[in-house]
A and B are shown apart, each in its own frame.
Chain A
Amino acid sequence: MTPDPAATPDHWGFVVAAYGLAAIVLGGYWRRLVRLEREATAKHDRRPAPPGTATPR
């Protein structure tokens, strides 16, 4: 027997909570990576050039 659709509760709250949580977790992780990449690039660019490769003024 096919259940009556009206008899099954909506449960949209659980659906929104699941998708909202995923958005927060994945969005937060992405933002963290962007920040780490910016910091690492800045640190990488500030490194002193290896001996013999410096451009003379």
Chain B
Amino acid sequence: MWFSTGRRGLTGVLGWLAALGLLAGLGLALGVAPREVSQGNVQRIMYLHVPSILTAYLAFAIVLVASLGYLVSRRQAWDHWAGSAAELGTVFTGLTLASGSLWGKPTWGTWWTWDARLTSTAVMFVTYVAYLMLRGMIDEAERRAQFAAVLGIVAALNLPLVHFSVLWWRTLHQPPTLLRPVPAALAGIFRLTLGVNWAAFTLLFAYLLAKRIRVGRLSEEGLP
């Protein structure tokens, strides 16, 4: 697949598409989308916060699939996918936590609260940081891939808990805007802005993932 075989031209195209998408998303989020009536301008953080967590979900779903793929086939390429996606998922989860905190202070009056959504997201972040630390501690490629694959599968058990925590428990955090059983009533321009930013984040993720996989593969081949 071009992702792992080093087709740099296609990765470059993906990078430019991501850049254009991010510019369009930024223009919509900070310029075109109107000020939300009850929250004011701080609601604009949602155009960053929601795509960040959705991208993190995608990344961790890839970690799960690639981990299963490695355990079944023992092919190192699956491990490159898992390790790279986990690193990116951790970055996007960190952004989710930080942007949520910046939204929470003016809206809830606090930077942080131990409600089910925030706590389960923090646990997810720490779990994948531990996953990356585990990968960094084992030098032998096969052992590293094997241990990481097991942790990659176990860590994914928390994903439904994070997403559905706001429906299963009474929390301060509002229910999900997207990926919910009954679609949320969202005015056209808000939906468009969120959609464009989500698409841009997904493109950016695909671009960074392709680059990260290439770095991992080249580093491994360059070993003496």
Contacts and interface: CB of A to CB of B under 8 A. Distances in A.
Given A14-B42, A18-B45, A19-B30, A40 B37 contact: no
Contacts of A34: 211
Main secondary structure of the interface of B (DSSP, over half): helix
Contacts of A47: 221-222
A21 B211 contact: no
Interface string B193-223: 0000000000010001001101100110110
Nearest to B38: A3
A15 B30 contact: yes
A48 B106 CA distance: 59
A11 interface: yes
A9 B41 CA distance: 8
25 contacts: A2-B37, A5-B35, A8-B39, A8-B40, A9-B106, A11-B40, A11-B41, A11-B106, A12-B41, A17-B102, A18-B48, A18-B49, A18-B98, A18-B102, A21-B95, A21-B102, A22-B99, A25-B91, A25-B98, A33-B212, A40-B218, A44-B218, A44-B221, A44-B222, A47-B222
